[in-house]
Structure 1
Amino acid sequence: MTERFYTTSTAFLEALAEAGVQYIFANLGSDHPGLIEALAQARADGSDKDLPRLIVCPHEMVALSAAHAAALVSRSPQAVIVHVDAGTQNMGGAISNALRGRAPVLVFAGAAPYTMENELPGGRNEFIHWIQDVPDQRGIMRGYVKYDNEVRYGSNIKQLVHRALQIAASEPAGPVYLVGPREVMEQPLEPYTVNPADYRPVEPAALTAEVADEIARVLATARNPLIITGHLGRDPEAVPTLVELADLLAIPVIESGPFKMNFPADHPMHRGWQFTTSAQNPLLAEADVVLVLDCDIPYIPGNNRPAPDAAIYVVDVDPLKYGMSLWHVPARRSAAANSKVALEQIAAAVRANGFDSDLVESRRAAVTAAHDAQRAALDALEHPEDGAITPRYLTACVRELLADEDALVLTEAVTNFQVVAEHLRVNKPGSLLGSGGASLGWSGGGAVGAKLFSPERTVVSLVGDGTFLFSVPSSAQWLARRYGTPTLTVIYDNRGWRAPKQSTLGVHPSGAAAAADDFNVSFEPEADLPGIAAAAGGAFAATVDDPAELPSVLKDALAAVHAGRSAVVAVHLPRAQGA
């Protein structure tokens, strides 16, 4: 790029590229002329190949969701550009998801110009510049980001970008937020460079030798040890280390609130999943030692808790959950450490100190038998009921559909999280991805971001009908069509919000709402959800309510995806409310 056109905006784009950012998911506005001009100049002189690729996103929820998934799949930060306060607010739930899902994403927003009488290039010249001037734009995001700052002068823009991305990528990873007024982004600069190696993320932390030895000792001597994990699989390389330790001592593993593939479902030490369970997990109640690894919610104390005398150890990059105002696990030791590193240390200490092989082999036989019985019981549930498709049958059909695929599944089926986990049963690290957050609609943009970094894989989203509507499907499906990222979306369609109904029944099981089936959650009259995808993105669209037709419709949908066309299949399940 020629020096004449080198501005803060140019340096900003260069800094993203220097840091390894490959995509900018953008919803541009009146605050971005400097960036738009810098990109156009780069295309004009051929230097655009050295900059991140800009992905035009018609909705901010879709933009940040795409960046979130892209960052998790690529395991490298990505970027989002949004329009002042309005675009910032439009990300709403997506920024909450990025925080809870530990997604390293840099969000950049413009800010209202601070001059209005032609004092500087980029000053106020549109009526909207006064309307967009709010007292604390950064405050909108402050509860959901690790770091926020304002670009006040162009000469240190690269340092600010690299610092923000260093913070975003350091564990626990998460989003960061920068704002820059138009005048600053238009400021002419002398070209300059910054060494990205000076801004590396913080290196993985290890356990102290004392703690590693203690955990190894208590696990090796326990009669009923248990491992609970939820996020360990965000690093696919950590999964084999967990398998190694579980194999070594025959320790059963539970996945609690998992939004990653943490442990192979077919492994004999895998003992199931738990989300919002209403009953006591017998494994947890019987455990004399519990190792909690990278897990936000190892159990829900009101329903399901360990024995009072159980020895609990917590290993996590964030063992105290600083961002959660109410959280507690009565651990003997809580250690801030990288799980992969910690597991290697613990396994090495177990081998060095030895263990009772008879005890381990006896437990291995018992856990394996329980695993096999659990799987047989789940298999017996995979059939239609009274001529209707059930969530279990649907998930089993999806599992069979993907048996020979290198698939990446995005899970956002909410009240069917447990069902999807139990009947999809993924075994490959990096093959399952959820938002990790509480705001629905992530998978629409998320599927596009995942596919951009996994073009060779079959990307499949399993969603509820409410989730699909939250995802701004017209925008998400158009995006997939424009950028050639075909994916399959399967809608668990009960024509309503089942989650509020379940929540109400959990508090008022015999109340008036329960007696009258009056929950205000119905989506009747039914919308043609696949039709939205067909209209906006040219997708293959189908709705199924006959169990016998389901496998063939899913097969046709997958064939359309392989041919380069997205597909959306709504599968009718029993209604959330009413007949």
Structure 2
Amino acid sequence: MPIITCTHEETAVQIAHGYAKASGKPMVAIVHDVVGLLHSCMAVFYTYLDRVPVFIMGATGPMDTTRRRPQIDWIHTANVQGNAIRDYVKWDDQPYNAASIPESFARAYRVMMTEPKGPVYLCWDAGIQEDKLNGEIPIPNVARLMPPSPIQGDLKALEKAAEMLVAAKNPVILTDYTGRNPQSFDNLVKLAELLAIPVVDFNRRLNFPTNHPLNLTGSDMIEKADLILSLDVRDLYGPLVKLDKITRKTVYRTQKDCQLIDIGFADLHISKWSQDYMQLQETDLNVVADTLVAIPLLTRMCEEILGKNGKKREEIRKRFDDHKRTHETLRAGWQEEVKKNWQGEPMSLPRLAHEIWQVIKNEDWVLTANTLEEWALRLWNFDKAYRHPGKALGTSTQIGISTGVALAHRGAGRLVVDIQPDGDLMFDPGALWIGAHDKIPMLVVMYNNRAYYNDWEHQIRMAKQRGTDEKLAHVGMEIDNPPPDFATIAKGMGCYGEGPIFNGDQVGPALKRAIEFIKKEGKPALVDTVTQFR
């Protein structure tokens, strides 16, 4: 892998983040001593939240004060530099001599790649880097220092889970991070089909095919369930309740006697600092296990319990048919939504998702992150595990992560698509230059609503609650007057740029021109499509 020159430390970490999500392999992100580490903090935090293995390296010192240059070396040195990000990395280290480096490297890799995965940070003393080696440094046998085997889970607990699943009348599967292992994408299909269990995918990873008859994401199946199987869901409380966004009050939407099974890493992924562990949710059965091995095992156990139980198998066949009809009704309803406001200017999000799909559906495509408020998931056919590494994270993450995803697929003959929010790109337009400089092909389609509208919408809610003027909700939220010219920015970075486009009829031809450029030049192409707020 060649060195990728980045224009910001945050982008360097984000590219490694996207690369690891798409490839399953870690990438090194090098950040410049104290100041570079501080620049990278937000990106490091998101790798931790997203359970992604990123190997971050930096430097400090020289720790020997007699070797420091005036001023510059002093402000670029910290006592235990890893303290800056220690609360949201799995492990950090600062070796104090060259002989310690091989073990530090080996441990960092093993910690990073052991589930639940996450970032690590190694800091090198500048003095050690500049010193000559006094002889050979022994290198350990790395084959004997690999990560441990996956956590299987307690067999009796899994047997109990299988019994509960087979006995349930209306079971539902909730899943969030299961698809981090591509094998689990197919394994989950086998389990769902065996018992005709509908799946609700929260899309931190792509966990289940969107067009599968048992994909009932967006339905009311949680309310109807008598048993819920949660697989790798970090926030288990959130999906089970209805939230009033103004009062912040919640009420359970599950049936009172609904049983709950949770399989995943539970409290193994917990921080003493960040409260990303979410609301504590009661369960009937909690199994700590890696779903990579737990799902196939659970499937076999369910098969054994089913045996030749003809009555139960007939019940399952009927349940499958019922869920298939619900799935078809959902998909048909979403297609009807596309037709509403078809000619709206700026274009609606369903219209933009539809237009992109019409152009890319015959390509071998990958969607990097943003799903246009889930309209891509509703209208496109996500049929393979690699189609989507997971939904978008917070603002100032997507262009970097998307570039990393595109890097992972470079040379595979796939069309990588980034539906790119305008506010996110404003944080780091330099990422476009990285794609052009290192020939990382990617189709960037702007989700340009000329606003930080999530906050804008919240201001509208607050205005309604308090009886204040809603017309002021845009203050501090709009990205307009003047609107950024993203097509010109892209051209200035060495990429293809076209737009702004307000009418959906013009999107398809523009995308085809952009794709032609990508295939010819091997560089990013940006089409600036202007949309409605939501």
TM-score (structure 2 length as normaliser): 0.90
Letter in 1 for 2:319: R
Which deviates more from structure 2 when the two are superposed, residues 284-293 or residues 106-115?
Answer: 106-115
**CA distance in 1: counterparts of 2:421 and 2:322, whole angstroms:** 37
Q: Could you tell me which residue of structure 2 aligns to residue 420 of structure 1?
A: 376
Which deviates more from structure 2 when the two are superposed, residues 313-322 or residues 371-380?
Answer: 313-322
Q: Could you tell me which residue of structure 2 aligns to residue 276 of structure 1?
A: none
Q: Could you tell me which residue of structure 2 aligns to residue 336 of structure 1?
A: 288
Secondary structure of the 1:177 match is strand
Q: Does structure 2 retain, via aligned residues, the 8 Å contact 1:496–1:522?
A: yes
Change (3 A) 1:417 1:575: closer
Cα RMSD of the aligned pairs, angstroms, is 2.0
**CA distance in 1: counterparts of 2:468 and 2:448, whole angstroms:** 22
Change (3 A) 1:397 1:319: farther
**In the alignment, structure 1 residue 241 sits paired with structure 2 residue 196:** no
Secondary structure of the 2:160 match is helix
Secondary structure of the 2:172 match is strand
Change (3 A) 1:512 1:133: farther
**CA distance in 2: counterparts of 1:386 and 1:400, whole angstroms:** 17
Q: Could you tell me which residue of structure 2 aligns to residue 16 of structure 1?
A: none
**CA distance in 1: counterparts of 2:448 and 2:128, whole angstroms:** 48
- Residues 20-169 of structure 1: pairs in structure 2 closer than 5 A: 23=1, 53-117=2-66, 123-169=67-113
**CA distance in 2: counterparts of 1:390 and 1:448, whole angstroms:** 26
**In the alignment, structure 1 residue 185 sits paired with structure 2 residue 129:** yes
Secondary structure of the 2:368 match is strand
Q: Could you tell me which residue of structure 1 aligns to residue 325 of structure 2?
A: 369
Q: Does structure 2 retain, via aligned residues, the 8 Å contact 1:315–1:335?
A: yes
**CA distance in 1: counterparts of 2:124 and 2:215, whole angstroms:** 49
Letter in 1 for 2:364: D
**In the alignment, structure 1 residue 270 sits paired with structure 2 residue 270:** no
Which deviates more from structure 2 when the two are superposed, residues 510-519 or residues 147-156?
Answer: 510-519
**CA distance in 2: counterparts of 1:514 and 1:322, whole angstroms:** 42
**CA distance in 1: counterparts of 2:35 and 2:9, whole angstroms:** 10
Q: Does structure 2 retain, via aligned residues, the 8 Å contact 1:292–1:313?
A: yes
Secondary structure of the 1:271 match is coil
Q: Number of aligned pairs? A: 507
Q: Could you tell me which residue of structure 1 aligns to residue 246 of structure 2?
A: none
**In the alignment, structure 1 residue 286 sits paired with structure 2 residue 224:** yes
- Residues 501-520 of structure 1: pairs in structure 2 closer than 5 A: 501-505=456-460, 509-512=464-467, 515-520=470-475
Q: Could you tell me which residue of structure 1 aligns to residue 155 of structure 2?
A: 209
Secondary structure of the 1:96 match is helix
Secondary structure of the 1:441 match is coil
Cα distance per residue 1:124-163 (max 9 Å; x no partner): 1253112223445312101210001112111020110110
Cα distance per residue 1:480-506 (max 9 Å; x no partner): 112111211111111001111233445
Change (3 A) 1:387 1:507: closer
Q: Could you tell me which residue of structure 2 aligns to residue 390 of structure 1?
A: 348
Q: Does structure 2 retain, via aligned residues, the 8 Å contact 1:107–1:177?
A: yes
Q: Could you tell me which residue of structure 2 aligns to residue 12 of structure 1?
A: none
* Structure 1 residue corresponding to 2:368, chosen from 410, 413, 422: 410
Secondary structure of the 1:565 match is coil
Change (3 A) 1:339 1:423: same
1:436 offset after TM fit, Å? 6.4
Q: Could you tell me which residue of structure 2 aligns to residue 30 of structure 1?
A: none
Cα distance per residue 1:508-543 (max 9 Å; x no partner): 544446632524211112011222121013333332
**In the alignment, structure 1 residue 560 sits paired with structure 2 residue 517:** yes
Secondary structure of the 2:527 match is strand
- Residues 299-314 of structure 1: pairs in structure 2 closer than 5 A: 299-300=238-239, 301-303=241-243, 305-314=253-262
1:548 offset after TM fit, Å? 1.2
Structure 2, unaligned runs of 5 or more: 244-251
* Structure 1 residue corresponding to 2:199, chosen from 231, 246, 253: 253
Q: Does structure 1 retain, via aligned residues, the 8 Å contact 2:446–2:526?
A: yes
Cα distance per residue 1:161-201 (max 9 Å; x no partner): 11011100100100001111211222333333221112211
Q: Could you tell me which residue of structure 2 aligns to residue 172 of structure 1?
A: 116
Secondary structure of the 1:537 match is coil
Secondary structure of the 1:201 match is coil
Change (3 A) 1:443 1:503: same
Q: Does structure 1 retain, via aligned residues, the 8 Å contact 2:10–2:39?
A: yes
Q: Could you tell me which residue of structure 1 aligns to residue 336 of structure 2?
A: 380
**CA distance in 1: counterparts of 2:129 and 2:461, whole angstroms:** 52
Q: Could you tell me which residue of structure 1 aligns to residue 389 of structure 2?
A: 433
How high is the sequence identity, in percent, across the aligned residues? 23
Q: Could you tell me which residue of structure 2 aligns to residue 39 of structure 1?
A: none
**CA distance in 2: counterparts of 1:143 and 1:57, whole angstroms:** 25
Secondary structure of the 2:493 match is helix
Cα distance per residue 1:85-105 (max 9 Å; x no partner): 110111122111111121111
Letter in 1 for 2:397: W
1:572 offset after TM fit, Å? 0.9
Change (3 A) 1:308 1:327: same
**CA distance in 1: counterparts of 2:161 and 2:110, whole angstroms:** 32
Q: Could you tell me which residue of structure 2 aligns to residue 297 of structure 1?
A: 235
Which deviates more from structure 2 when the two are superposed, residues 366-375 or residues 428-437?
Answer: 428-437
Q: Could you tell me which residue of structure 1 aligns to residue 249 of structure 2?
A: none
Structure 1, unaligned runs of 5 or more: 1-22, 24-52, 118-122, 274-280
Q: Could you tell me which residue of structure 2 aligns to residue 13 of structure 1?
A: none
**CA distance in 1: counterparts of 2:379 and 2:426, whole angstroms:** 25
Q: Does structure 2 retain, via aligned residues, the 8 Å contact 1:93–1:440?
A: no
TM-score (structure 1 length as normaliser): 0.83
**CA distance in 2: counterparts of 1:426 and 1:544, whole angstroms:** 26
1:306 offset after TM fit, Å? 2.3
Q: Does structure 1 retain, via aligned residues, the 8 Å contact 2:235–2:277?
A: no
Q: Could you tell me which residue of structure 2 aligns to residue 4 of structure 1?
A: none
**CA distance in 1: counterparts of 2:110 and 2:523, whole angstroms:** 37
**CA distance in 2: counterparts of 1:132 and 1:567, whole angstroms:** 38
* Structure 2 residue corresponding to 1:493, chosen from 413, 428, 448: 448
